[in-house]
Amino acid sequence: MTDTATDTTGTAELLSELRAWLGSNWDPDLTVAEWWERLGLAGWAAPGLPVGAYGKAMARSDVVLVQQEIAKFGALGPPAGLGLLLAAPTIATHGTQEQIDHYVRDIVTGQKAWCQLFSEPQAGSDLAGLQTRAVKDGDEWVVNGQKVWTSGGQYADLGMLLARTDPEVPKHQGISYFAFDMLQGGVDVRPLKEMTGHALFNEVFITDARVADSALIGGVNNGWAAANTTLMNERAGLGSGGGNTAGGGLAQPGTVLGFLGKRVGDLVAPAPIAAGNGDGDGGARATRPQQTGGAGALGAMRGGASMLIGLAQSRGVNTDPGIRQDLARLYTLGELGRFNGLRVKAAKEKGGDIPGMPNVAKLSMSQIVRLTRDLGLRIAGPAGMLHAYDVDDKAALKHATGDPFAGGVTEMALFAQAPPIYGGTDQVQRNIIGERVLGLPKEPSNDRVTPFSHLPKNA
Ligand SMILES: Cc1cc2nc3c(=O)[nH]c(=O)nc-3n(C[C@H](O)[C@H](O)[C@H](O)COP(=O)(O)OP(=O)(O)OC[C@H]3O[C@@H](n4cnc5c(N)ncnc54)[C@H](O)[C@@H]3O)c2cc1C
């Protein structure tokens, strides 16, 4: 990335302020908790959040630059994960100041890790069809139901819970959004192992669990609005190359994984796995190890062009015209994403926006992921048929193929099916662009007028 391509005066000033701040605050002998407290309270952990919510109201494209600058300095990045990416901006938008000071503070300082309790076995794309119930009991709610696909649920302190609080109104109007304690009786988290060999997500069974009224975000039956804020941040964050999820190095937030008391200098992320080629993607950094299988693969996909150029060179296929063309295509898609980020930033600086851009960004990310998978396997050749699942086998594979990147390519290929699904599938993104941006007619449905309790349901 060239400075001239990205540095507006404001951005350059902020980055120089950041460098000065890092110079006087980074200390590898602090604990992770102490470092994240400094970073978070200074507004550098999540600079995209509003000023009154532990942020600096920076554009998403600048947030990525901040994360890169912290990495370049050699300091540990912000507490990565769904708390920073999704819960914090949602609570900053729909929560009270008291909730911001409680929940968002714990997120930006890494004290608490979050998961997203949205999807259910019968409610994925049709999220508003969810059936988990929350029933009022004094100043608490009693929750019963089942969630699925819950990424990082096994390491989370809190969950963004969507539950039905009124089944007698149309489905979008009877949902509430809670900050839900995952570490209580009545919450059974069962990891699901994927073909990557990792257990990125879980099923979560909730039986008579409790959540306080004070943990209701955005008011009773107003959860759909809050959920949409979460989803928009998810799409924009995934599409922008990580957004707030990037940069946590080897440390993870929250009380479960036990990183908070460790020496921070021991947990700074290693250098990217391939030399940068100036493609502006921040290199092949792992992003969300709690979603690994996962995150390492997705991080590598974001650094796809850099990594695959290195792989093509090492395999001697970098002169193959077809491979060169697809490498150029991959690089171009990355650059288009970066330019779109800059367009959104410029529009927002003028008080406007570009409708549908988070959906476009997410679709483009799916395209990058698929191309990276296909191109990677073509470059790897027969070695792409081999995959190792544990450390010893990975070493043996590396030895047998003589290729340090081979395992990474198959890891990406196995994981490539996931990004086009999570955060809303490609088809759902296209529906949203069609209906909400282009103004095309919605599919005929009585969902918006019929009480949820009267709608037909799957078993
Ligand atoms: C790796 C991974 C991590 C995830 N993490 C989380 C998480 O942490 N928390 C969470 O709550 N969820 C999570 N999800 C769930 C994800 O958001 C859902 O899988 C997604 O919303 C799709 O829902 P579904 O799987 O039930 O598929 P369905 O909704 O059953 O869809 C099946 C197919 O039908 C298509 N389809 C559905 N409706 C339409 C329509 N109206 N028009 C056109 N096509 C349609 C879909 O595109 C898809 O191809 C994760 C998913 C994955 C893969």
Encode pLDDT of 89-142 as tens digits: 999 999 999 999 999 999 999 999 999 999 999 999 999 999 999 999 999 999
Helix (H, G, I), strand (E, B) or coil at 151: coil
Residue 236's nearest CA partner among 162, 341, 382, 318 is 341
User: What is the Cα–Cα distance from 438 to 418, expressed in whole angstroms?
Assistant: 27
Query: Mean pLDDT over residues 135-160, rounded?
Result: 98
Question: Per-residue pLDDT averaged across 408-422, rounded?
Answer: 90
401 lines ligand 1 (CB under 6 A): no
Q: Is residue 301 over pLDDT 80?
A: no
The secondary structure of the chain in percent helix, strand, coil, rounded to multiples of 5, reads 50, 10, 40
CA atoms of 398 and 404, how far apart (whole Å): 6
Q: Which of 192, 206, 422 to mutate to test the pocket of ligand 1 (most atoms within 8 A of CB)?
A: 422
For 3-60, the pLDDT digits (tens) are: 334 445 588 898 999 999 999 999 999 999 999 999 999 999 999 999 999 999 998 8
Question: Measured from the CB, is residue 292 less than 6 Å from ligand 1?
Answer: no
Closest-CA residue, ligand 1 atom 51, reads: 422
pLDDT-derived band at 354, boundaries 50, 70, 90: very high
List the residue whose alpha carbon is closest to atom 43 of ligand 1. 427
Q: What is the pLDDT of residue 305?
A: 82
In short, whether 125's Cβ falls inside 6 Å of ligand 1 is: yes
Helix pair angle (406-415, 295-302), 10° resolution: 100
Q: Is 149 in the pocket of ligand 1 (CB under 6 A)?
A: yes
Calpha distance 39→195 (Å, rounded): 37
Q: How far apart are CA 369 and CA 357, in angstroms?
A: 18
> φ, ψ for residue 202 (rounded to 5)?
-140, 165
Gap from CA of 149 to ligand 1 centroid (Å): 9
pLDDT at 4: 37
The DSSP string of 41-91 is HTT-SSTTS-GGGTS----HHHHHHHHHHHHHHT------SHIIIIIHHHH
Residue nearest (by alpha carbon) to ligand 1 atom 30: 124
Pairwise CA distance, residues 118 & 132, whole Å: 10
pLDDT at 164 over 70: yes
CA 194 to ligand 1: nearest atom = 1
DSSP string, 297-328: HHHHHHTHHHHHHHHHHHHT-TT-HHHHHHHH
Q: Name which residue sits closest to atom 1 of ligand 1, judged by CA.
A: 418
Task: Decide: 160 in ligand 1 pocket, CB within 6 A.
Answer: no
Q: Is the pLDDT of residue 247 over 70?
A: no
For residue 300, is pLDDT > 90?
A: no
Distance CA 96, CA 204 (A): 28
- Measured in angstroms, how far is the CA atom of residue 362 from the centroid of ligand 1? 14
Select the more confidently predicted residue: 459 or 69. 69
Probe ligand 1: pick from 198, 425, 447, max atoms within 8 Å of CB? 425
| pLDDT(405) > 80 | no
Centroid of ligand 1 to alpha carbon of 171 (angstroms): 18
Tell me the pTM. Answer: 0.88
Q: Is the pLDDT of residue 278 over 50?
A: no
pLDDT value of residue 404:
72
Rounded distance from Cα 180 to ligand 1 centre (Å): 22
Per-residue pLDDT, 243: 39
Is it the case that residue 75 has pLDDT exceeding 70?
yes
* Ligand 1 geometric centre to CA of 430 (Å): 14
Distance 458 CA to ligand 1 centre (A): 16
> For residue 257, which of 367, 106, 110, 420 has the smallest C-alpha distance?
110
Which of 11-15, 168-172, 282-286, 421-425 shows the highest mean pLDDT?
Answer: 168-172
Report the nearest-CA residue for atom 27 of ligand 1. 124
155 lines ligand 1 (CB under 6 A): no
Ligand 1 atom index nearest CA of 122: 26
Asked whether the beta carbons of 253 and 81 are under 8 A apart, the reply is yes
Residue 240: per-residue pLDDT: 55
pLDDT of residue 293: 37
C-alpha–C-alpha distance, residues 328 and 234, integer Å? 27
Write out the two tokens for 9: 């005066």
> Distance, CA 425 to ligand 1 centroid (Å)?
6
Q: Provide the pLDDT confidence category of residue 408 given band limits of 50, 70 and 90.
A: confident
**Is a pLDDT exceeding 90 seen at residue 67?**
yes
How much distance in Å is there from the Cα of 124 to the middle of ligand 1?
A: 5
Q: How far is the CA of 148 from the centre of ligand 1 (A)?
A: 10
Measured in Å, residue 147 CA sits from the centre of ligand 1 at 13
| Distance in Å, CA 121 to ligand 1 centroid | 10
119 lines ligand 1 (CB under 6 A): yes
Supply the DSSP symbol for 102.
I
For residues 222 and 388, which has the higher predicted lDDT (pLDDT)?
222
Q: How far apart are the first and last CA of the chain?
A: 52
Q: Whose CA is nearest to atom 40 of ligand 1?
A: 428
Structure tokens at 353: 């926006």
Closest-CA residue, ligand 1 atom 16, reads: 422
Atom number in ligand 1 closest to CA 443: 41
Confidence band (pLDDT; 50, 70, 90) for 435?
very high
Rounded (10°) angle between helices 357-380 and 406-415 = 140
